[in-house]
Amino acid sequence: MSYVQGKTKSEILDEMAGTAQPGSQIHEQQKAAIIVRSTEDVQVALEKQTNATCKVNDALEQLNSRMESLENIFKESSKSSGKVAFALNLLTGALVLVGIAQGIIAYTK
């Protein structure tokens, strides 16, 4: 394949248009070389696509992990908020009872 060795697809195509006759040995070598180089380009593109897909998958896994962590934090916050609300309700109830007791004491004096 000395006619195509070390040449790019563009260079081979330029030579095909200018020199090789269809059906000749040179022309067949040039066609084969273009097919091989195109296949190599597709393989490289697929490898890049695969790498990009892996990176996206990794990022999605990290995001899912962080979302689970955030969900757990919200659950804990909700439980704490419920406890605080209950404690405030008890305090409010106690204050109301103290206020009623003061009102009764003040009324009876």
What helix, strand, coil percent values describe the chain, rounded to 5? 85, 0, 15
Domain count across the chain: 1
73 in a domain, yes or no? yes
The answer as to whether 69 is a domain residue is: yes
Q: Is 93 part of a structural domain of the chain?
A: no
* In a domain? residue 96: no
Q: Among 13-17, 34-38, 96-100, which stretch is predicted with the lowest mean pLDDT?
A: 13-17
Position 83 in a domain: no
Q: Is the pLDDT of residue 104 over 90?
A: yes
The pLDDT score that the predictor gives to residue 23 is: 78
Contacts 24+ apart (CB under 8 A), 33-42: 33/1, 33/4, 33/7, 33/9, 34/9, 37/8, 37/9, 37/12, 38/9
Is residue 32 a part of any domain in this protein? yes
CA–CA distance, 76 with 84 (Å, rounded to integer): 12
pLDDT in tens, 62-94: 999 999 999 999 999 999 999 999 999 999 999
- Against a cut of 0.85, is the pTM above it? no
Q: Which domain holds residue 16?
A: 9-77
User: So what's the pLDDT on residue 39?
Assistant: 94
Q: Is residue 102 in some structural domain?
A: no
